[in-house]
Amino acid sequence: MKKITLDYSQSLHLIDQKELDFLQEKVSQCHELLHSKTGEGHQCLGWLDWPEQYDQEEFLKIQEAAEKIRKQSEVFIVVGIGGSYLGARAAIEMLNMLACTCKHEEQTGAPAIYFAGHNMSSIYLKNLYNNIEGKDVSINVISKSGTTTETAIVFRLLKEYMEKRYGRKEAGKRIFVTTNKCKGALKTLAGRQGYETFGIPENIGGRYSALTAVGLLPMAVAGIDIEQVMAGGQAACRDLSDDSLERNPAYQYATIRNLLYVKGKTIEVLAYYEPNLFYFGEWYKQLFGESEGKDGKGIFPASLNFTTDLHAMGQYIQEGRKDIFETTLNIEESEDKIIIKRAEDDSDGLNYLQGKTLDYINKKAMEGVMRAHCDGGVPNLMLCIPRISPYYVGSLIYFFEKACAMSGYLLGVNPFNQPGVEAYKRNMFHILGKPGYESL
């Protein structure tokens, strides 16, 4: 199988290959901290070897549960926030499975998939109720602690809905829980109610959990071949185990990001030319934002859908503040061949494109944008993904996880904690009058 590769030639006007080579020793030190599990946050490094050491017995349970859900459900609701849903949604939408599951169940064999628990909007939830009315429903609630506010509130409401509609016993057969393997509010509730439960390993944090049951159960329900997802993750795990900058594109990416950062490029735009990568961009933002944004440091992660967003943000990127660099996701092969045909009158002036595929034109737009932005002082990195498939979904997820861990260590932060996230929660709990938060 072809591998994911990195082309950083469009950044060499700002960084020197010698600068990259000079950092090899530091990269090797950080690599040792990761793989010996002695660095900061080492308690959360379970994801590092997970693709090769995942729980085979639970994997079979996931496949069996997914098949059960597909048979009994017209609707499947994934309840979670942040890392508890973004990885699954990224994979499902990347593979265009969400569009497929919006069709009637009899046509696809899969239920329609909806996401909830990532906001507390009454409008959103009311619309969800309207969409699922009269349809058979199953739910997967995902929360390691079981007490994440947004998820817990929405799950309480959906649990009430399910029990009112099906009765407690039948509802219990339609609610699936993914949570801490050993403890927590959801684990306790699942045991009491008899919900089928899947474990989140203690040593894997939410934003690094996409290749665990957190991501795999929703993917499997959507019809994604999760064996191929894990095969891609395994291949990346092996390929990216080398500390050599010359041979490890994830480390190249992490190191170049840090070199650009110290040169004043404090904002990274993840650019993509396929709209179904939108939620991969959302997953990337959480992964890097929570991992690096601390101690007064960090690259601000943003994502844009080109060429669409060029008509909104292209002007700023081209001629605005020069604190931006771009990482472009290039899907090298497309199976969809839509060809531009000749028009008799050529009133739109497009006959010069006769015989060209839409994908070819899209690629040329990408090349033109990268050249223009680079000429305008915005360095570009290009991550080349051979094609969109379950295998490369697994590879891409692991690639970014490994790159993020290395990038955080190079930056000098713990990439596995998120102490700042608690600040807004404390204020919210105080305002709401939660016991124990009366005085702040």
Instruction: Give the active site residues.
Output: 290, 425
Distance CA 205, CA 203 (A): 7
Query: Is the bond leading into 148 cis (omega within 30 degrees of zero)?
Result: no
Other C-beta atoms closer than 10 Å to the C-beta of 41 total: 19
Enumerate residues 6+ apart whose C-beta is below 8 A from 407. 253, 254, 257, 258, 288, 291, 292, 415
**Could you tell me if 214 and 200 are in contact, meaning their C-beta atoms sit under 8 angstroms apart?**
yes
3-state SS assignment for residue 161: helix
**Could you tell me if 260 and 325 are in contact, meaning their C-beta atoms sit under 8 angstroms apart?**
yes
| Cα–Cα nearest to 124, from 160, 158, 91 | 158
Enumerate residues 6+ apart whose C-beta is below 8 A from 123. none
Distance CA 426, CA 392 (A): 39
Q: What is the CA radius of gyration of the chain?
A: 23
